[in-house]
Structure 1
Amino acid sequence: MRFHSTLLLAAALAVACSSAGAQSPGTAAKPFNAVEAGRFDEPWAMTFLPDGRLLVTEKAGRLWLQDVTSGKRTRIERVPDVVHAGQGGFGDVVLHPQFAQNGWVYLSYAETGEGNTSGAAVARARLDLEDNELEDLQVIWRQVPKVTGNGHYGHRIAFGGDGLLWITSSERQKFDPAQDMASNLGKIVRLRDDGSLPEGNPFAGQGDVAAQVWSLGHRNMLGIAFDGDGRLWVHEMGPKGGDELNLVEKGANYGYPIVSNGDHYDGRPIPDHDTQPQYRAPVITWTPVISPAGFVIYSGDRYPGWKGSGLIGGLSSQSLVRVSFDGERAREAERFDMGTRIREVEQGPDGTIWLLEDGDKGAQGRLFRLDPQAR
């Protein structure tokens, strides 16, 4: 069902969207035309090279280099082997902040383990644009432990202004590991660019994988971005209800699965955050959910009023959600009906926003360019 149907729009207008009581504004008139610029098979993530070409991952284990002007596409070879099942497969792709000098590209993916287990991994490799292949591939981080099932890998990656590497490690639909410091599941991880441990991680004294952890108590984190003041924002899918946008702080516990503003899919209730204030509450919650995927905080000038806003793709909501920030506060400002599942959001070098359509549940894996237009 399209998100702008009468019943769903009425529900969206009625739902409380944040811990401060803000409300969803419903769908808004689009200040852009969405122009199809390519098609992929189950695309998951993308990032732009300095020359304006685009790297795109496909879940089955393919990495593509696309010229967005000519449409010419080249497959990048020598990528890591991936487990392509359920939510698993090739994940994120991000450039090192000094990519122009060192050529490092960072990739996340699901890899196999013993006994029908799997887990997310992050590797870096040098991108050879002459032979169109990856060189010197190094795995620099892994989820611990590997577990059965093919859900909730998370494995979004980002670099902070200080050059450190941040990874969202979701709880693999196993619930309790999000609170277990012997595991890095359900955590946000902070590392140096080579995977080694930086100074200042809050649980370093516990050693082992706990030394990687910056925050805990997370569920399924599919978007990570820094704002212009260096604050880290992460969104995550809630259980049945209660999608979240969190301001991530050092050593904070966000409560899952002990608290959540949603409930378990089998109907068992989960206490809300306000019942146990020792756990950090989200800045925004969405019920009905938006199923957030992909996230940028926009820094360009092509869309009036958007600079500094968060842009979140919506899967089940089939939307692009714009979030307005005011310091440590945030609210949903606008929601644009895209009529299909949006998997990824990225900003191009000229400030243009690009979207990847999901490749599941009827979506076709299209690449869209959002051309600004007056409202």
Structure 2
Amino acid sequence: MKRSVLAPRFVRGCALLSAVVIAPVFATAAVVETDDGPVEITEMVGGLTEPWGIAFLPDGSQLITERDGRLLHATVDGPTVEVTGVPEVWAEGQGGLLDVMVPADFAETREVFLTYSKPQDGGEAGTALASARLSDNGTALEGLADLFVMTPGGSRGQHFGSRVVEGPDAHLFVTIGERGNRDLAQDLTVHNGTTIRLNRDGSVPEDNPFVGQEGAQPEIWSYGHRNAQGADIDAEGRFWVVEHGAQGGDEVNLVEPGVNFGWPVISYGQNYNGTPIGEGQTKEGMAQPAHYWDPSIAPSGMAFHSGTAFPDWEGHALVGSLKFNYIAVLDPSDWSEVQIESDETLRVRDVAEAPDGSVWFLSVGNGAAYRMTPTE
């Protein structure tokens, strides 16, 4: 382990073909100096409203979610269009349309996966995972269906998670925040504060760690999480998450089956009023983070880099900061950190690698998607 220094709105996709919503951006590159040398950052898609997740189709075009409930298809050389047929979302606080994931077999199946905050009974909302087929012309979701909906999440507007990633064996991993009810992160009878693992069709794998344990939710893969808004699979097939602490104590965690990551019993942060959290920083039976930040950087999207565009970053974890407006490039061998900071990295919500190996990120502050490449 290493440390680094109002009623809810329900939004439903419209049933008719949407008009073009965003014109192509005339790409101009900014050269940004970093401790690892200069990089070029180019705005590729502008005019976005609180973008949350980005995923790439095989042709290099992108699917981008906006938290208020829109899914956009940014074509390679043409306009950006709104995709119809999205689920109804609870667009309140941190809730809404959240992550999007394109699986490895998209060219054969045209299947995509979405996470979102789903309206539940009594004014509550919880993290859900849905799948659908993207139409051949890329403008509509077809056959949308929920694969998973968490146990009642509560009426608070915070801590939904929620990233979805595809494991090396085609299992799906989803992160779920504790929904602002911290004690539930230690309760296996609910999904709050967990990561879950599902088969592609939403069924539960027989080798999940809590299958058959009385009272436990069988989807749970790990627990004791606060709010993991970043996740990825590394080159060795290992599942990692980055999650928000309270005041300090943001964490990078290597997730193993059945592991308890301690929230809110242990933490490297403190409550926002300055009082201690739980019982301290360590406790037997609770895992330590691989890395943590204090003060908090408010980490969001995470991506391991293949080294295609930036050979020196092969295997490094790129993590966006919502608080300090940069991208952290972390070397897992010692968790040393290089920071990519510029006018473009204003509140970075997601980081992803494109099919050509370039690094893309979403800026909430600028309402844009950017492409980062080496300087020529």
TM-score scaled to structure 1, two decimals?
0.88
The alpha-carbon deviation at position 98 of structure 1 amounts to 1.4
Are residue 351 (structure 1) and residue 351 (structure 2) matched? no
Is the aligned partner of 1:42 residue 2:46? no
Structure 1 residues 195 and 188, CA gap change in structure 2 (3 angstroms): same
1:250 to 257, 280, 290: 257
1:115 and 2:122 equivalent?
A: yes
Do the aligned residues in 2 keep the contact of 1:38 with 1:71 (CA within 8 Å)?
no
> Structure 1 residue runs of 4+, over 4 Å off?
271-274
TM superposition shift of 1:371:
2.6
2:341 maps to 1:334: no
Q: How does 1:232-311 map to 2 (within 5 A)?
A: 232-271=239-278, 274-311=281-318
**Separation in structure 2 between the aligned mates of residue 314 and residue 271 of structure 1, nearest angstrom:** 26
Alpha-carbon separation, structure 2, partners of 1:125 and 1:275: 42
Assess if the C-alpha contact under 8 Å between 1:37 and 1:71 holds in 2: no
Shift of 1:200: 1.0
Deviation of residue 30 (structure 1)?
Answer: 5.2
- After TM superposition, the structure 1 stretch with the greater mean CA deviation from structure 2, 128-137 or 292-301, is 128-137
SS class of match (2:369): strand
Conserved 8 A contact 1:302-1:352: yes
Moved more, 79-88 or 365-374: 365-374
Q: Offset at 1:74?
A: 1.4
Partner of 1:176: helix, strand, or coil? Answer: helix
Q: 2:217 is paired with a residue of what secondary structure?
A: helix
CA distance in 2, matches of 1:301, 1:53: 19
How many Å separate the matches in 1 of 2:176 and 2:100? 15
One-letter code of the match for 1:337? E
Q: How many corresponding residue pairs? A: 345
Distance 1:209 1:62, change over 3 A: farther
Contact residue 296 and residue 310 of structure 1 kept, 8 A:
yes
Residue 149 (structure 1) aligned with residue 156 (structure 2): yes
Shift of 1:209: 5.6
For 2:335, what is the secondary structure of its paired residue?
A: strand
Higher relative contact order, structure no. (Cα contacts within 8 Å, ≥ 6 residues apart): 1
Q: Give how far 1:199 is off.
A: 1.7
- Matched to 2:342, the amino acid is M
Contact 1:273 1:281 (C-alpha < 8 Å) held by counterparts: no
Would the aligned equivalents of 1:321 and 1:332 in 2 still touch at CA under 8 Å?
no
Match of 1:16 in 2: none
Report deviation, 1:275: 3.6
Residue number in structure 2 paired with 1:8 = none
Shift of 1:265: 1.6
CA contact (8 A) 2:4 2:294 kept: no
Q: Does 1:365 align with 2:367?
A: yes
Contact kept in structure 1, 2:282 and 2:288, CA below 8 Å: no
What SS does the corresponding residue of 1:204 show, helix, strand or coil? coil
Q: Which residue of 1 aligns with 2:38?
A: 31
8 Å contact kept, 2:350–2:362: yes
Which residue does the alignment assign to 1:77? Answer: 84
Q: Indicate the residue corresponding to 1:94 in structure 2.
A: 101
Q: Tell me the equivalent position of 1:170.
A: 177
Q: Give the partner amino acid of 1:181.
A: L
CA distance in 2 between partners of 1:131 and 1:154 (Å): 27
Superposed CA RMSD in Å reads 1.7
The CA deviation at 1:367 is 1.2
Alpha-carbon shift at residue 146 of structure 1 (Å): 2.6
Instruction: Report the secondary structure of 2:189's partner residue.
Output: coil
**Counterpart Cα distance in 2 of 1:52 and 1:59:** 23
- After superposition, the Cα gap between the structure-2 partners of 1:264 and 1:23, relative to the gap in structure 1 and judged at 3 Å, is closer
Measure, in 2, the Cα distance between the counterparts of 1:338 and 1:223: 21
Identical positions, percent: 37
In structure 2, how many angstroms separate the alpha carbons of the residues matched to 1:74 and 1:277? 51
Cα offset, 1:35, TM superposition: 1.2
1:204 and 1:115 mapped to 2: Cα distance? 29
| Amino acid corresponding to residue 341 of structure 2 in structure 1 | D
